[in-house]
Amino acid sequence: MSTVRWIEDNTYNPKLGFWSRANVGEVLPDPPSPLGWDMVFEGGTVLGWRDCMVNRFGIGDDEVHATRPEVIGLFGGYAYLGISLLRVWAARTPGFTPEALDAAYFAGNPDIPPYAAEPWHDNPHTTELMTGWLGWVMGDRNQDELEADRLAAHAVRAGRPQLSDLTELELYERASAMKPFIRALFDQHINQSGAASIAPGIIAAVCAGVGNPTATMRLLSGIGGVDSAAPSLALWDMSRTVRASAALTNHFESDNTGLTDRLRADPAPEVAAFVAELDSLLAEYGSRGPNEWDIHAHTWETQPDLVMAAIDRMRHTADSAAPSGHHTTIEAERLRLGDEISAMLAGDPETQGQFRAALASASTFLAGRERSKTNIIRVIHEVRMSVWEIGRRAVARGEIDEARDICLLFGDELLAIASGTLTGTRELVAARQEQLDRLATLDPPFLFDSPPPPNDQWPKRGDNPPPIAEVGETLTGLPGCPGVARGRARVVLHPSDPTALEPGDVLIAPMTDPAWTPLFVPAAAVVVNVGAPLSHAIIVCRELGIPCVVSVNGATARIPDGALIEVNGDTGTVTVIELDPAG
């Protein structure tokens, strides 16, 4: 085991002992950086989750740890989701069950340990509180609180001072001051996520009852107002500008490395207009990026060439593939199908009313969940920009190599470097980077319900590769967005390098967050290694009208790059039709 100071792991509590990487892998796919954990998660998102569970969901204050609640934690340097406490909440919620919660997170994974009820799981206070909360979810649905959060998050970004004018201590104070806000925003995010999990189950039950179980996905598609899909629409418009301009096309036909800088150096009016459009996009969406929850990671604002890579893929796509057109089609189908099933329930007014309420609730809270996430990411980015400014000055002093290396320090060390009292910074950062690199080579267990082994006993990534799928073989996952599509499989392991993805190809990805979303637009379909019914990939694909299958275990390793495959978003299957003839 390494002796380098690192983020402290959680203490395993057998009473709440079932943990999983499910879903949390979309938030922290990689081991978090020390400063990212200190400034955002510890005392921020983690306590925000606790606030929601205790104050909104009725979990007893004495039932969850005061500072490290068993809802999200670290084991072996990786983030895990505490399933045990979530199951208890589901058991206490009228109309919900631990089994329904498992279905939402694990989609029938056979390795999931069964829920075992215990006497303390029964709590009338929680049930009473949740009855009232369900009235809001299925009836009132007022989102004034979420809207206030949106405005406040925008105000933080709009009010960003000229960071270069601040002292390092002022930058430290600005970053630290965001933590209570992040805590409150994450409280709301869990509230919205919990609300978003209710209606889909009701809709699925009704659809199964009328003999049309596959209608569920279509009734959850094209709802509109999904913030994580909005950047793709903006980038699509920019790709049309490039497609129509010879000057811009010439830039994009060159090496994409340093493309943003070359565009900024070109005084041509149409190029300058495009750069102004880019700056507007970065002001609105610059917080988005791969692994955006960790302030150690680049975002679109810190590395605009990530945006250029996405536009480059989109510009090859014909105008007829505009995502707005797909959305209009699937929205019309959602409304038509909702009316059709509602009419089938005319003889059962109670079920019909519940069905209509569930449709309205799903539209409200699926969009609300993505908005609450967007609000947090916007504020987290302000933490990033403040601490990276300290990092830039440390680079100028020769203490570190690049600005983001500052995130390899802990919060107390950040204060020390801002105060001019930290010594041995270069050696300290080098040792931390070595530790982060070591952790990144590990393959963490997907789940455990007993004390996990120390991470020096974990296998290395790639040590046990799964077998390559053969022609005619069908891989099974979770249906995400309906539809059937054929195309060449393009395995993309990072959104910054989508160069092989051509219009009509099928995107095969390890996981997705909003940084991946623009790559959905030119793709015929999306297949993801992991995911659940409320995962990012599914929600965005349903907005863009792209067939999607998630939770295809080992898809990026098993599906041969360049193979012709068929993706069935209705059945959740991926079939290999033929191998790459050029391979």
The span from the CA of 53 to the CA of 86, in Å, is: 9
Beta-strand ranges (E) seen in 384-465 are 447-448
Q: Rg for the chain (alpha carbons), in Å?
A: 24
- Give the helix, strand, coil percentages of the chain, each rounded to 5: 55, 10, 35
The span from the CA of 40 to the CA of 384, in Å, is: 10
User: At which residue do the structure tokens 């999200």 appear?
Assistant: 72
pLDDT for the residue numbered 551 = 85
Q: What is the dihedral angle through the alpha carbons of 76, 79, 83, 85, rounded to the nearest 10 degrees? A: 100
Q: What is the dihedral angle through the alpha carbons of 253, 258, 260, 263, rounded to the nearest 10 degrees? A: -60
The span from the CA of 548 to the CA of 528, in Å, is: 8
H runs (alpha helix) in 37-123: 46-51, 83-92, 98-106
pLDDT for the residue numbered 499 = 73
CB atoms within 10 A of CB 544: 25
Name 448's bridge partners: 19
In sequence order, the 6+-apart residues with CB closer than 8 A to the CB of 189 are 48, 369, 372, 373, 375, 376
Q: In one letter, which amino acid is 442?
A: L
Ordered structural domains, the chain, with CATH: 14-112+121-210+351-438 (no CATH), 474-578 (3.50.30.10)
The span from the CA of 39 to the CA of 176, in Å, is: 7
- DSSP H or E segment with residue 242: helix 230-243
CB atoms within 10 A of CB 54: 17
Backbone torsions φ then ψ of 450, nearest 5 degrees: -145, 165
Name 81's bridge partners: 20, 72
The span from the CA of 571 to the CA of 27, in Å, is: 27
The span from the CA of 534 to the CA of 253, in Å, is: 37
**Between the CA of residue 38 and those of 8, 43, 48, 395, 530, what are the distances in Å?**
11, 8, 14, 22, 27
> pLDDT 10s per residue in the chain (583 long)?
467 899 999 999 999 999 999 888 778 989 999 999 999 999 999 999 999 999 999 999 999 999 999 999 999 999 999 999 999 999 999 988 999 888 878 766 778 999 999 999 999 989 999 999 999 999 999 999 999 999 999 999 999 999 999 999 999 999 999 999 999 999 999 999 999 989 998 999 999 999 998 899 899 999 988 888 889 899 999 999 999 999 999 999 987 778 999 999 999 999 999 999 999 999 999 999 988 999 999 999 999 999 998 899 899 999 988 888 888 889 999 999 999 999 999 999 999 999 999 999 999 999 999 999 999 999 999 999 999 999 999 999 999 999 999 999 999 999 999 999 999 999 999 999 999 999 999 999 999 999 999 999 999 988 888 899 999 999 998 888 889 999 999 999 888 777 788 999 999 998 877 778 888 889 999 999 887 777 777 888 888 889 999 889 889 999 999 999 999 999 999 999 999 887 6
**Between the CA of residue 30 and those of 134, 294, 441, 489, what are the distances in Å?**
35, 9, 10, 25
Confidence (pTM): 0.94
In sequence order, the 6+-apart residues with CB closer than 8 A to the CB of 235 are 281, 307, 310, 311, 314, 518, 521
The span from the CA of 160 to the CA of 463, in Å, is: 46
pLDDT for the residue numbered 24 = 85
In angstroms, the first-to-last Cα distance of the chain is 42
What's the full length of the chain, in residues? 583
Would you say 460 and 532 are in contact if contact means Cβ atoms under 8 Å apart? Answer: no
Would you say 276 and 502 are in contact if contact means Cβ atoms under 8 Å apart? Answer: no
The span from the CA of 478 to the CA of 474, in Å, is: 13
Structure tokens, 152: 């406040």
Instruction: Name the DSSP class of 402.
Output: S
The span from the CA of 236 to the CA of 219, in Å, is: 25
The span from the CA of 446 to the CA of 450, in Å, is: 13
Strand, coil or helix: 475: strand
Structure tokens, 473: 């073989």
Q: Is 136 buried (19+), middle (13-18) or exposed (0-12) by CB count in 10 A? A: middle
- Choose among 149, 572, 545, 142: nearest CA to 364: 142
